Amino acid sequence: MKNETALAGMLPAELEKNLLTVPCFRCAQIYKWITRGVCDFDQMTDIPVSMRHDLKTRFDIFSCVIDSIQPDRDADKIVLSLKDGLKIEAVLLSDGKKRFTACLSTQAGCPAGCVFCKTGSLGFTRNLTSGEITEQFLHLNAVNNLKQKSITGETGDDISERVHDNSIDNIVIMGMGEPLLNMAELRKAIEFFTDPEGLNISKRRITVSTCGICAGLYDIADNGPYIRLALSLTTADEPLRQRLMPVTAANPLKRVKDALIRFQKKGGGRVTLEIPLLGGLNTRSKDAASIARFAENLNAVINIIPWNPAAGLEFEGKPLREPSKKEIENFIFQLENQKLKVTMRHRKGRRAMAACGQLGSV
């Protein structure tokens, strides 16, 4: 990055404030090009050449660059270098049916300290800006377009073939960091994603996953945005949950549930209760029973996530282990026996260390 200001992630009104000498209609054109994924002002063919040259001398489009791409069969992890030298990761997920999901980060590192998450072991460095959040999506979209082009054998160098519209169907804010500890920038990023004049992604196609930060949950319940919410519950045995997820000590489950009920009463939809399943730790009958009690009076689905290994993670002096097939099946049976709707997360990107809980394993 050679300039102080990067334009990606700015809405038209913000572009107008930064591009003071540029007419408003030109700002709208620039915005359209950025949302379509251009990485060079020279690609903006309806902008006068002299203006493009001036923009190049004063601004960058992106503030971060792709450091590496780590491909897997159904997931591609990108490592991004930020302008201050920090590195973050984002993941492109595929369901095998040409439907794609962008998994985005909101912080460099994470302050939550969940023992089963590699990012949590890194500690916390700083919040990402809304631009750094939205740039992850734009970079993943460009990677996906190039990948699909290579699969179909497309060739050509004209602008129409190098610039593509959005090919990603869904966004999950489930990467590095705790999203609700970066609410202001998260809101701005969601506004960019959902802007009808830009990417125009439905809020129903955006999921924010949280450890259960009560202040953030109440804020979303009262003020929106009414995206889809996922709570990393892990277990509703509160003492065990606080040992596994230190940040939850200040966010008791009673208040978390109250905030979720409020969210749904104010207009939010069904919530997902995520259960990272840890072999021998939260696979007990009492864990299933506690989850069933927590789910009462909530419109919720339980998502089982068998733990994905990451080097160096342990709990109270003992290495974590993956749950056995028998543990998984028995736990799902117990939940379904409580009349709960249960799904299981398909493991994607494990070879690239891109699966749930593995980000930070560069």
Q: Which residues are catalytic?
A: 89, 356
CA distance 181 to 159: 40
Proportion of the chain in helix, strand, coil states, percent, rounded to 5: 40, 20, 40
* Inter-residue contact 359 to 116 (CB < 8 Å): no
Task: List Cα–Cα distances, 94 to 80, 87, 335, in angstroms.
Answer: 20, 23, 28
Which amino acid appears at position 53 of this protein? H
Catalogue the long-range contacts made by 235-238 (C-beta closer than 8 Å, 24 or more residues apart).
235/275, 235/282, 235/287, 235/290, 235/291, 236/287, 236/290, 236/291, 236/293, 236/294, 237/282, 237/286, 237/287, 237/290
* Inter-residue contact 100 to 93 (CB < 8 Å): yes
- Side by side, the strands of the sheet bearing 100-103 are 65-71, 75-81, 87-94, 100-103, 170-173, 206-210, 228-232, 271-277, 300-306, 342-344
CA distance 133 to 326: 39
Q: What is the dihedral of CA 162, 166, 167, 173, to 10 degrees?
A: 130
